[in-house]
Structure 1
Amino acid sequence: MTIIDQLTRIYPSILLQKPKNRKEAAKFQWFTTEDGDLVGIDKAALHDKEADLLSIFLTPINEKHGEPTREAQWRQILKGQDKAPDFHPPRAFRFLIFSIKDTTPDKESIQEAFQSLFPEEVPILWKNNREGMIIEEVFQENQELLTLEGIPDILMSDLYTDIRFYVSDTETHIQDARTVFLWSERAAAIAADYHLGPVVSSIEILPYLFLDSLNREDWNYMKRTVFSDMDEEKELLDTIRVFLESGSNTTLAAKKLYMHRNSLQYRVDKFIERTGLDVKKFEVAVPVYLALLQMEQ
């Protein structure tokens, strides 16, 4: 039995969509479920203690004269529904999908911390107590987007919990919002599976998208083909990974690894000799790099 079925048994007058008449809508207390569904319960049948209890497993929507909040309007759009008549679309937007390591800080404290990062209030859609999404909207022509570098560290010092973000591309067409949202949710899940950094962009996720599509049999064959008996050569494999991440630039890779350029070149040549894979060639470097990423997991 779903949560909506249970609520319907307790509150037979429950509504699952808002009446167009604002006065009628104002007679109900509105909530969203963990799945993002909208529910309205008649205020006359709802006591204060019951409302507090419902707020534990439902997200209350603060009403202003019966109008849906910005969050509720965005939920409609992301579910593929027509946008509300009074929804004013931004010039551009992007999704910041967040995940919280633990639930020690209460949701209100986290919400307040998120809002403090922006000059204006932003919609925040919660999926559950540990996951959700900030929608960063652009309304002004010269409005700057939030720079997330260092933000997880700031939040860690304030909230004492690890918060990670996946940042979508900036979009300008509201009709593409649902498509971008669904893609972003998948990308955020991949970032979590591969334990990527605290802030991950859509570009950074692309190699892992290919890895995620490989089944176990394909990966085992790829590993055997690329590395054969090199499982124990971690230092050499790490060198090749950094070399490829540096655009096959020997000087740059040597600086990252704090080693002499000639020493790095020796390791690259050693890898080529042992595997027969010339990682200096682009068409060889790509599958080798993907295999190295997979081996790290």
Structure 2
Amino acid sequence: MLRKLLPLYENSILFPTQPVLPSDQLYIFFDKSQTEWVGIPKSVVSEKELKLLKTLYEIVEYQSSTISSVSKIWYEFLFLNGPPPLYNTDAYFRIIQFYINGDGLDHSEIEAALKGFFTDDVIIIWENGNRGIVIEESKQISLSDKELISMAQTVESDFFIKISFYIGKVYPLSNQLPNNFQQEKEYFIFGKTNLLNTNIFAFERIFPAYLAYHLPKGLAHKVYQALSEVFMEDPEIFSTIKVFLENNLNASMTAKKLYIHRNTLQYRIDKFVERTGIQLKDFYGAFTVFLPVYFLSRKRKITICPKVSSITLCNMSILIVSLSM
């Protein structure tokens, strides 16, 4: 029912989770039956309409927030189409998104832990109970990808939680920044849902899989067919090539992850190259193999087996899917 209010009130917003830091300019209503929240600008709600809405829905009251005025301006800029914060015209920013699995989180303790890793002050904003962002000005950027991985491991061990990060690109402060942030937010959600072997995400890590996911069905089927028979006939090759690609074609890391000797790894790679004719030493070969590996990893159920296959081969294909999950 709350969704029906969206076209009635201009600039109203639907929230899938309760907003932690709503604008002072919004009324927040909660629909228990749908577990959804809607924010409606106070300026478009008459006194009579407010009474009616309070009768139909639960209004969420917020105590006066102690959050800094700068953080509030950033929140309204990124989430509520507000005016941009005041900085120099040549200011650039990076937004690091994070998501924490768990309930009853102490935001102040987690904020303190996160800020301890940065050399300068950063702005941390909570979108809801589990999701938030870290805003860095470009001149403050101090953490590399490896250091962010170390930060995630430390936070997880200290608080017994699971945390994921999306490392955003550096953008100039402009009216386009909220759109850039929303696009990166979409990539982050996609990565958390589809790429389960990591908790540190970035555009270059997600986009190949994102592109493959959005291929037309006909083309996706052709890509899948290209190597599916080879992989179904030899689950060991599939699991080896999958880990090899996930580790950026790094033989040492791959052998370590698979608990095998480097010579064994090279034997399996050579076997794959011999059977397919596809080299894995350059971008073109790696990307060509990545696509069918991605599709086979996502395929939960093999419904069509090759004509020459047997019950054993079909069972083997199911084994491949289980290995890829």
Normalised-by-shorter TM-score class = 0.5 to 0.7
Map 1:84-123; keep pairs closer than 5 Å.
87-88=86-87, 91-118=91-118, 121-123=121-123
Q: Does the CA-based 8 Å contact 2:123-2:136 persist in structure 1?
A: yes
The equivalent position to 2:66 in structure 1, one of 52, 59, 62, is: 62
Map 1:95-174; keep pairs closer than 5 Å.
95-118=95-118, 121-138=121-138, 141=139, 143-146=140-143, 147-174=147-174
Q: Does the CA-based 8 Å contact 2:102-2:161 persist in structure 1?
A: yes
- Separation in 1, partners of 2:242, 2:66: 50
Q: Does the CA-based 8 Å contact 1:97-1:167 persist in structure 2?
A: yes
Q: Does the CA-based 8 Å contact 1:32-1:38 persist in structure 2?
A: yes
Is 1:230 aligned with 2:231?
yes
Q: Does the CA-based 8 Å contact 1:36-1:75 persist in structure 2?
A: no
Is 1:186 aligned with 2:186?
yes
Alpha-carbon RMSD across the aligned residues, in angstroms, is: 4.0
In structure 2, the CA distance between the partners of 1:276 and 1:83, relative to structure 1 (3 Å rule), is same
- Separation in 1, partners of 2:213, 2:169: 20
- Separation in 2, partners of 1:221, 1:287: 12
- Separation in 2, partners of 1:106, 1:246: 34
Q: Does the CA-based 8 Å contact 1:30-1:60 persist in structure 2?
A: no
Listed one character per residue, the Cα deviations across residues 81-102 of structure 1 (whole Å, up to 9, x for unaligned) are: 4625x72358331111111111
Q: Does the CA-based 8 Å contact 1:32-1:60 persist in structure 2?
A: no
Read off the aligned partner of 1:99 and give its amino acid letter: Y
Q: How many residues align?
A: 255
SS in 2 for 1:230: helix
Q: Does the CA-based 8 Å contact 2:118-2:142 persist in structure 1?
A: no
Task: After superposing the two structures, state which structure 1 stretch, 129-138 or 185-194, moved more.
Answer: 129-138
Q: Does the CA-based 8 Å contact 1:95-1:181 persist in structure 2?
A: yes
Read off the aligned partner of 2:151 and give its amino acid letter: I
1:292 shift after superposition = 1.8
| Cross-structure match for 1:12 | none
Q: Does the CA-based 8 Å contact 2:224-2:291 persist in structure 1?
A: no
In structure 2, the CA distance between the partners of 1:177 and 1:218, relative to structure 1 (3 Å rule), is same
Give the TM-score of the pair, scaled to structure 2. 0.62
Q: Which runs of 5 or more structure 1 residues have no equivalent in the other structure? A: 6-15, 17-27, 41-52
In structure 2, the CA distance between the partners of 1:169 and 1:252, relative to structure 1 (3 Å rule), is same
Map 1:270-285; keep pairs closer than 5 Å.
270-280=271-281, 282-285=283-286
In structure 2, the CA distance between the partners of 1:88 and 1:278, relative to structure 1 (3 Å rule), is closer
SS in 2 for 1:170: strand
1:191 shift after superposition = 1.4
Listed one character per residue, the Cα deviations across residues 167-191 of structure 1 (whole Å, up to 9, x for unaligned) are: 1012234344123201210111121
Q: Which runs of 5 or more structure 2 residues have no equivalent in the other structure? A: 6-11, 13-22, 29-36, 44-59, 298-323
| Cross-structure match for 2:198 | 197
Give the TM-score of the pair, scaled to structure 1. 0.67
| Cross-structure match for 1:9 | none
Task: After superposing the two structures, state which structure 1 stretch, 283-292 or 116-125, moved more.
Answer: 116-125
Q: Does the CA-based 8 Å contact 1:93-1:170 persist in structure 2?
A: yes
Identity of aligned residues (%): 26
- Separation in 1, partners of 2:26, 2:112: 19
